[in-house]
Structure 1
Amino acid sequence: MWSHTHLSPEALRQKIKDGSVTFGGNKKLKIYGRLNCGSGKRMKKQNRVFFKDETEAQNLGYRPCGHCMRLAYLKWVRHKKITLFSIHFCYRKNTQNDVIFLDRTYIKSKQK
């Protein structure tokens, strides 16, 4: 991951040209998307970061952009809803140590 403030315009153009930068993201909102996304172009320079690929962004906890990556975003939302349902179900089913079990399930799901 590269921060926009730490790259010169020439270095950034070169990284895009040689393929070492393919996605951009917002480090405060933890959202990533395509480099040509209108939402990404409007963000502040100090919040902008760049990734080599989608896997790198996801591994760092970023979610897909709802504008330029609609299908990936909908898949992420669906997975999040299923995970939240699983946490709620586990919490209700396990009454003796529910808080510990809930925390473990939540931490485990956030790492994916």
Structure 2
Amino acid sequence: MVFLSRLLSAPLTEEILFRGPLIVGMWVLHIAVARHKITARTRNVLVLVLACLTSVLLFALAHSATGVYNVLSAGVFGVAAATMTIRTKSLVPGIISHALYNATGSLI
């Protein structure tokens, strides 16, 4: 039962909590930065980097109670999941990869 919980509920909950706001936050940042006189490309890159870093840091900190190794691995996974979310504009790839990541960790 713990395996199923870890496989299904944790990835779904964590991706919605940490990557869901990433998409909304990107639009809020985009509007805030749009007031400054910078090129559209620079603005888009800045928004993506800030939103991604915020998401990754919060995700890594949420895993800090389980040790430094888990913070680092959560940070690396957070970058991958944030990248998937940004590129696909969907949480589904992150949820699936998170579930697979947790499943491999549980089986080992």
TM-score, normalized by length of structure 2? 0.32
Write 1 or 2 for the structure with the bigger share of strand: 1
Q: Quick one: higher RCO (CA 8 Å, sep 6+), 1 or 2?
A: 2
User: Structure 1-normalised TM-score?
Assistant: 0.31
When Rg is computed on C-alpha atoms for both structures, the one with the higher figure is 1
